[in-house]
């Protein structure tokens, strides 16, 4: 397998993408701290996908994917695909679905939604885009429980129901959801070309996001299993940075840590 890619998730630096003139400077910082690739998400500046791509490339950062909201995929597929083509990316992820709005749903309801995800994935593939699903922790809620047993997590149900849809497991959230990350990397073999790396710890009993290697997660074991399962792109994300108060510093710490594992 060729050398893996380590990318930054731009959601981590969303506060530094508010203005069009600011965006190239932010990309230059991302490059300087060691990232040649980035996943597009949370960019607030009024830039077209093509303009985002050009600003990234001008500063030595290649876009390798994006997060595009579920409503766009469901209601405006052409815009979703045009965004991917404008960014020049092969991968795009559904970043979120609102679980709380569907607490009364049955297994059949969820399967219907997930079959729709797979239809979208097949349709996107014809346009040269591999559609992914990015999890949080709520996808490990059980559905279909009868008499205290026989339930499945939403994520299990999703990937048992679909064939074309790729996963983009966020292993920080996998662990937060009480799951074994190595087992999930193994279970999703062949369907996790790209994954998210996000660390955390408990500080004073409170959930706290941390730079990679400064939390509680066994990254060498996870990364090793991901490589066996076909992962070629490892995407570093930190939603907020309470320890450093500086997302660039946190991304830099994470990049150095991953470099020690992957080279």
- Which of the four pLDDT bands, split at 50, 70 and 90, describes residue 1? low
Read off the pTM: 0.96
Q: What is the DSSP letter of 258?
A: H
The pLDDT score that the predictor gives to residue 115 is: 98
| pLDDT tens for each residue of 53-89 | 999 999 999 999 999 999 999 999 999 999 999 999 9
Domains of the chain: 5-262 (3.20.20.150)
pLDDT of 103 above 90: no
- Which of the four pLDDT bands, split at 50, 70 and 90, describes residue 147? low
Angle at 121 between CA 63 and CA 167, to 5 degrees: 65
Do the Cβ atoms of 3 and 232 come closer than 8 Å?
Answer: no
| pLDDT tens for each residue of 24-35 | 999 999 999 999
Rounded CA-CA distance 4/234 in Å is 7
Among 47, 121, 53, residue whose Cα is nearest residue 81: 121
First and final C-alpha spacing in the chain: 14
Rounded CA-CA distance 172/180 in Å is 11
């Amino acid at each position: 397998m060729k050398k893996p890619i380590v990318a930054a998730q731009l959601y981590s630096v969303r506060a530094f993408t508010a203005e069009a003139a600011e965006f190239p400077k932010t990309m230059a910082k991302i490059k300087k701290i060691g990232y040649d690739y980035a996943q597009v998400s949370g960019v607030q500046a009024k830039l077209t996908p093509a303009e985002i791509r050009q600003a990234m490339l001008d500063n030595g950062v290649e876009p390798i994917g994006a997060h595009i909201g579920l409503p766009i995929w469901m209601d405006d597929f052409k815009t979703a695909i045009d965004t991917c083509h404008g960014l020049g990316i092969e991968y795009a992820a559904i970043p979120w679905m609102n679980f709380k709005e569907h607490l009364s749903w049955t297994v059949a309801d969820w399967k219907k939604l997930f079959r729709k995800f797979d239809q979208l994935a097949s349709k996107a593939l014809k346009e040269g885009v591999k559609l992914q699903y990015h999890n949080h922790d709520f996808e490990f809620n059980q559905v279909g429980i009868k008499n205290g047993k026989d339930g499945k997590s939403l994520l299990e149900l999703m990937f048992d129901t679909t064939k074309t849809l790729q996963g983009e497991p966020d292993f920080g959230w996998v662990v937060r959801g009480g799951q074994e990350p190595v087992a999930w990397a193994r279970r999703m073999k062949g369907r996790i070309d790209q994954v998210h790396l996000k660390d955390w710890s408990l500080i004073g009993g409170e959930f706290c996001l941390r730079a990679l290697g400064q939390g509680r997660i066994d990254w060498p074991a996870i990364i090793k299993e991901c490589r066996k399962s076909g992962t070629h792109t490892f995407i570093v994300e930190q939603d907020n940075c309470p320890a450093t108060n500086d997302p660039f510093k946190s991304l830099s710490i994470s990049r150095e840590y991953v470099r020690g594992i992957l080279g």
